[in-house]
Amino acid sequence: MILYYDVCAIIIIILIVISCVLKKMMHGRTNGLFYLLLLCMMIATVADFAGAYIQDFGAHNEMNRMAEYMAQYFYFGMHNLLLPVYMMFVYSNIGMWHDFKKRNALQAVWWGGIILNMVVLLSNAVYPWVFYVTSEVEYERRAGIVIFYLTAAFYMIYTLYLLGRYRRIIKRDKLIVMFLLFPITCIGITIQAILPTHLVEMFMISVATLLFSLVIRREEEQLDPQTGARKYSGAHERVKNFLSTGVPTYVLLIKFVNYRNIRMYLGHELLSEFLREQSSRMNGIARECSLEGELYYLEDGLYCVISESADYELMHLFATRIRDYYFDKLPLRSFSVLADVRLCILCCPEDIDNYNTLYTFCSTFHKILPETKEVMHYPDYVNNRDFKIKNELDDIINRAIGSHGFEMYYQPIYSIIEKRFVAAEAFIRLRDDNYGMISPGLFIEAAEISGAIHTIGDFVLDDVCRFISSDPFAGLGLECIEVNMSTSQCLEMNLVEKVEGLLKRYSLNPSLLSLEVTESAVDFDPDVVDHNINRLNELGIRFSLDDYGTGYSNVRRVTTLPIEIVKLDKTFVDGIDDPQMWIMVQETIKMLKQMGKKVLVEGVEEEKVVKKFTDLGADYIQGCEYLQGYYFCRPLPEKSFVEFMQKQG
């Protein structure tokens, strides 16, 4: 017999085990089944080697004959378990364990094949109809071995069916490697049948196992070295699997809401140590609670635990233990870290049944649910209107884009000098068929995150230009309409061409359009923003600086850009009863006037505020030119705004 193949197989199996241990793949059902598969392979290979060695080099006596029998019993016992265990490994690895658990008939057949093989093997001790060892220690296979081949064929065919059935939810490389085990094994069996002295079967099986160990377990089973938790890519595929198959799965979201502060406080090296400790502690709590689940790190201080086997009570117990652990400060070397944690339990697909909604919820749940350290449960908030809106904002925005759900409102701007309304500011509103009016404070931020802000911005510019070119607007006597520009819009490389195209389409005088930019926008990418603003200003478009005073007020940027009007934020108005604050307001206005800017005060809601700013005057030294706020008029739909302005005379 040529024994080198078995020796190589043993070495390969040992290397696979060492690799798994070094990668800390020690916990979970899938890992357990993989180690069981390796154990069966190792015992079968060692027994195969021992049996061949005894035949080739052992003395022909009764002791070696018994040893040969024992080697063959171990070989067949473990070899017959390889395909049943592999079938279970496939079930677990592709996230379909629940399918096996709920099918009693399949479980009975699975166990039946194993029991049948064991009965046949043990009966060989009474009547040698499977294999026989002669007095000269020669090994012979007999007719009963056909039963082993038949049961193996069942497990093989069913596993191939399983892979074919769920091929759409399995990654392509993973599917290919899982399929490859069978032809590789069949090649080994064929070679060994043709050349009985070449013990290649276990070697070929070990090579196939090494292959899918490298490919299948490369992503979802490998731990993130920074955190010690499973990688984001593994969570992505796991979520896709259980949502596609509909298996009830509990997900616990654990978010460090002060993650950025922790990162700044600890620095990169200590942050990695902190995250590894949290992963270790969470896994430890899971073991203490007997929770079978997998911990994933989804970046930016967000963990999730996914469990198909847990029930609500067990997941709640685990979440409560996590909550209690983070009540106190956490020691880390010479530091003390206070982690502000939010937790939420949801069951899929009962609570959320599609990937995009789940992904959005995972990213924003700590914002859209109440701020509390208690364990939150998705069903407790699912019927709350604000919760639904926040959770479905991306879908709401997409619906509005597709069904013309956006509408422009206008608020007049009052001139202290001319004592009349001389301009207006455009505001976008979203009206959803399901939820009615949605606050811009909600959907604008979500649109900036999703990228839909560009589509919304295009709608605003187009609709405002249309309104300015309309006959009703011509009779209102307004100098311009002001339009808010988001940071994303200011960075568009084709912004100038886009606006220039609108001016031509509607035959507009560019001075009728005034674009508002914020301090944060003009400082985000100065080169791009400066280019856009200067090019648009050359076309004749006006510019205002909105929300002045809410950022760090980069005066240099205000002076270098062609900004005509600076709009003081409502925070200035709210503090004018404070003598010190009123001094600051006056000095700010005086500074801006000396820079050659006009000043508009926003958020005017009371008559006393109007009087106070009117009394300042509006000359070139002090005082503001414009006032805007609810005192004069709330933002109105286009038709109502036209009617309001017409009544002003």
- Cα angle 232, 237, 242 (rounded to 5 degrees) comes to 125
Q: Are 103 and 162 in contact (CB under 8 A)?
A: no
Q: What is the pLDDT of residue 554?
A: 56
Q: What is the pLDDT of residue 219?
A: 46
Contacts 24+ apart (CB under 8 A), 403-406: 403/433, 405/430, 405/431, 405/432, 405/433, 406/430, 406/431, 406/456, 406/459, 406/460, 406/463
Among 602, 505, 619, 478, which residue's Cα sits nearest to residue 549? 602
Q: Are 601 and 568 in contact (CB under 8 A)?
A: yes
Q: What is the pLDDT of residue 220?
A: 44
How far out from the chain centre does Cα 163 lie? 27
User: Which residue is it, tokens 């002295």?
Assistant: 197
Q: Are 341 and 254 in contact (CB under 8 A)?
A: yes
Query: pLDDT tens digits, residue range 523-571?
Result: 666 778 888 889 999 999 999 988 776 554 556 666 778 889 999 888 8
Every domain of the chain and the residues it spans:
4-215, 232-391, 410-427+474-647
3-state secondary structure of 402: helix
Q: What is the tally of helices (H) and strands (E) in the chain? A: 27, 19
Altogether, the residues listed in the chain come to a count of 649
Instruction: For residue 623, give both structure tokens.
Output: 């005082």
Among 280, 192, 141, which residue's Cα sits nearest to residue 1? 192
Q: What is the pLDDT of residue 528?
A: 83
Give me the amino acid identity at 309.
S
CA torsion angle for 639, 644, 647, 649 (degrees, to 10)? -100
**Cα separations (Å) of 574 from 415, 416, 499, 590, 616?**
21, 20, 36, 19, 17
- d(CA 254, CA 298) in angstroms, rounded, equals 10
- d(CA 48, CA 202) in angstroms, rounded, equals 8
Sheet holding 249-256, edge to edge: 294-297, 302-307, 249-256, 341-348, 375-377
The two domains 4-215 and 232-391 share their CATH topology (first three levels equal): no
Among 298, 393, 304, which residue's Cα sits nearest to residue 343? 304
How far out from the chain centre does Cα 471 lie? 49
User: Which residue is it, tokens 């339009």?
Assistant: 483
Helix (H) or strand (E) holding 547: strand 542-548
Cis bond before residue 472 (omega within 30° of 0): no
Q: Are 416 and 616 in contact (CB under 8 A)?
A: no
Q: What is the pLDDT of residue 305?
A: 92
Q: The pTM is what?
A: 0.56
**Phi-psi sector, 54: left (phi>0), alpha (psi -120 to 50), beta:** alpha
CB neighbour list of residue 97: distance below 8 Å, 6 or more residues apart: 29, 91, 308, 309
Instruction: For residue 390, give both structure tokens.
Output: 């926040």
3-state secondary structure of 360: helix
Query: pLDDT tens digits, residue range 371-405?
Result: 777 888 888 777 677 777 877 888 888 888 888 89
From the first residue on, what is the mean pLDDT of each consecutive set of 10 residues in the chain (649 residues)?
Answer: 80 86 71 88 89 82 88 90 90 75 86 92 90 84 88 90 79 78 82 76 85 64 73 78 78 91 86 89 90 86 85 90 89 85 89 82 79 82 74 85 90 92 94 87 82 90 94 91 89 90 93 87 74 90 82 62 87 83 87 88 90 78 86 93 88
Residue 148, φ and ψ in degrees, nearest 5: -60, -40
Q: What is the pLDDT of residue 498?
A: 92
Among 283, 221, 223, 282, which residue's Cα sits nearest to residue 256? 282
**Cα separations (Å) of 62 from 125, 135, 139, 630?**
15, 7, 14, 105
Pairing of strands 636-637, 406-415: antiparallel
- d(CA 140, CA 123) in angstroms, rounded, equals 16
Give me the amino acid identity at 257.
V
- d(CA 472, CA 469) in angstroms, rounded, equals 9
Q: What is the pLDDT of residue 166?
A: 79
DSSP calls for 316-339: HHHHHHHHHHTTS-EEETTEEE--
Tell me: domain 4-215, CATH 1.20.1070, correct?
yes
Q: What is the pLDDT of residue 269?
A: 81
**Phi-psi sector, 195: left (phi>0), alpha (psi -120 to 50), beta:** beta
Q: Are 255 and 341 in contact (CB under 8 A)?
A: yes
CATH number of 232-391: 3.30.70.270
Beta-strand ranges (E) seen in 330-372 are 330-332, 335-337, 341-348
Domain 410-427+474-647: state its class. Answer: alpha beta
